[in-house]
Structure 1
Amino acid sequence: MDLEIIDLIRRTFEDLPDSRKPGNNRKYRIEDAVLSALSVFFTQSPSFLDYQRRMDKFHNRNNAQSIFGVHQIPSTSQIGNLLDPIAPGTLYPVLAEVGGRLYTQGCLKPFVSVGVTLLVALDGTDSFSSEKISCPCCTQQTLKNGQILYRHTRVTPVIVAPGQSQVVPLPPEFVRVQDGVDKQDCELAAAKRWLTKWGAHYAPRGITVLGDDLYCHHPFCEAVRAQHMDFLFVCKPDSHVLLFEWLDDFTRTGEIQTLEKSRWNGKQRMTERYRYFNQVPLRNSDDALMVNKRAKIFRES
């Protein structure tokens, strides 16, 4: 990684707010706690920190110190005590800045794909869920058995590309409880907030937003286009009845265009058949967005 980026990350960690009172024990620095937590993601071992502490005890040196610059490794509980009070949004600007520097330095050229754009995949993921433990920030979901599931969910945008095993994370957006709002927040609403916050920042780089059927929703598609981005969303027959009726009608008249490609997957030859049609309405209204429909079918040769 570029030394300037490393220095940016370290300076950001050093400037994170410290909620400890002046008289409290300050043996461990905030940046040591953050770097120790970050280091866990660079190993497959869940006991990484304990292993590093033992290395330090017997060899007076450890990887956390030599690679990440950690002065002293806090315990797992100490890391939680130091980092829990810090709002996640504190780190969003540096996350965006790191992605920006990767872009300007040409590191994202291998990710340029469909329509000479960067593909940003949106998806929701739970960071916590429980039927017994909750907090004021939890959203609630009623299960089929009548129990309430308490959740912390966030939309996690990442830059992806075909053939690339790595991804570039972008600032997330949490599904959250909102004061004064009767309707509970949801993944789609969080994704709209993300577009509002970050659309102008990322759109000039050329962005195509990816998502599942949840995102193929007319108002959300309009929100994407309002940010001067393209979209490539999954759509299902039961949620996009009109669109598939159009597809069926043009299939009967033979106006659907088809493209076939053959490839070897290492075990057998596969034929990929693409059916596509341009300018079909996303919904049944006069102001409907006109979109391009594509279907992909695999078969063994």
Structure 2
Amino acid sequence: MMEALACDHLVQALHQQLAFRPDDRTGKHTPYAINDAARGACAVFFPQSPSLLADQRRMDQAKGRSNADSLCGSEASSCDKPLRTLRDPVAPAQLFPVCEGISGALERAGHVAACRTFAGQLLMAWDGTEYFASQEMQCARCAQRTHAQGHVTEVHQAMSPGMVAPGRHEVIPVEPACITPPDGHVRQDCEQVAARRWIARQAGRYRWVTL
């Protein structure tokens, strides 16, 4: 039997994982907590405004509380630039335990068992997504797309796996696989290579499951 898993439970799991996030800043240059920056990144999925800060201000004026506060427990609001300054140096892999913790909570609540199909198998669907693109900004984790006209676009991409089942509208997302060359590699990454890295990394977690 599946247990109800409220949003508050997922937010609590997020807070527990973020409590271990490193913060090597010193002095007076710490007006915003790094955990608030991470929570703000999650709250950005809920706005109805052009930016997170604009949405927080709108909700603060209308209801006296923003969604970053009520949904993710953030204590301070900031414009986009300070939040990006805090988040950008963080490697995505440092936040993967958040995905594992939340998927574990869903599994314990019985939601993963409801996805099992014939002979207890779990179906894992994969899809690639691009979440950043620029012809002016780049970083070491960017992949490059060269256009026919000769200009280059720097992009961030990921493979987003999720547990699915016939007849179910719900999808249980699991830890993503970043499409970026590992340290020491100069060749462009691709979806197939990223998927193989994910399978190797998750082999222990899913060794008792037929995928």
What displacement does 1:86 show?
A: 1.5
Asked whether 1:140 is paired with 2:147, we answer no
Asked whether 1:153 is paired with 2:154, we answer no
Q: In 2, are the aligned partners of 1:5 and 1:98 still within 8 Å (CA)?
A: yes
Distance in 2 (alpha carbons) for counterparts of 1:127 and 1:65: 25
Q: Which has the higher contact order (CA 8 A, sep 6+)?
A: 2
Asked whether 1:12 is paired with 2:17, we answer yes
What displacement does 1:172 show?
A: 1.4
What displacement does 1:55 show?
A: 4.1
Q: In 1, are the aligned partners of 2:49 and 2:55 still within 8 Å (CA)?
A: no
Note closer, same or farther for the CA distance 1:90–1:153 as it changes in structure 2 (3 Å cut): same
The one-letter code of the counterpart of 1:11 is Q
- The residue that corresponds to 1:106 in the other structure is 110
What displacement does 1:10 show?
A: 0.7
TM-score by length of structure 1 reads 0.59
Q: State, as a whole percentage, how many aligned pairs show the same letter.
A: 34
The one-letter code of the counterpart of 2:60 is D
Distance in 2 (alpha carbons) for counterparts of 1:141 and 1:62: 38
What displacement does 1:191 show?
A: 0.7
Deviates most, 75-84 or 5-14: 5-14
Distance in 2 (alpha carbons) for counterparts of 1:43 and 1:62: 10
Number of residues paired by the alignment? 206
Alpha-carbon RMSD? 2.7
Q: Which runs of 5+ in 2 are unaligned?
A: none
What displacement does 1:177 show?
A: 2.7
Secondary structure (helix, strand or coil) at the match of 2:44 reads helix
Of the three residues 118, 124, 128, the one matched with 1:124 is: 128
What displacement does 1:84 show?
A: 1.2
TM-score by length of structure 2 reads 0.81
The one-letter code of the counterpart of 2:85 is N
Distance in 2 (alpha carbons) for counterparts of 1:61 and 1:132: 36
The one-letter code of the counterpart of 1:13 is L
Of the three residues 21, 28, 31, the one matched with 1:27 is: 31
State the Cα deviation string for residues 3-22 of structure 1 (Å, max 9, x = none): 655433212223312243x1
Q: In 2, are the aligned partners of 1:18 and 1:82 still within 8 Å (CA)?
A: no
- The residue that corresponds to 1:176 in the other structure is 180
What displacement does 1:72 show?
A: 1.5
Note closer, same or farther for the CA distance 1:46–1:14 as it changes in structure 2 (3 Å cut): farther
Note closer, same or farther for the CA distance 1:79–1:164 as it changes in structure 2 (3 Å cut): farther
What displacement does 1:43 show?
A: 3.8
The one-letter code of the counterpart of 2:39 is L
State the Cα deviation string for residues 249-282 of structure 1 (Å, max 9, x = none): xxxxxxxxxxxxxxxxxxxxxxxxxxxxxxxxxx
Distance in 2 (alpha carbons) for counterparts of 1:44 and 1:206: 40
State the Cα deviation string for residues 145-170 of structure 1 (Å, max 9, x = none): 44444332222111122333332221
Distance in 2 (alpha carbons) for counterparts of 1:114 and 1:104: 21
What displacement does 1:101 show?
A: 2.4
Distance in 2 (alpha carbons) for counterparts of 1:77 and 1:105: 38
Q: In 1, are the aligned partners of 2:46 and 2:67 still within 8 Å (CA)?
A: no
Secondary structure (helix, strand or coil) at the match of 1:206 reads coil
Note closer, same or farther for the CA distance 1:179–1:81 as it changes in structure 2 (3 Å cut): closer
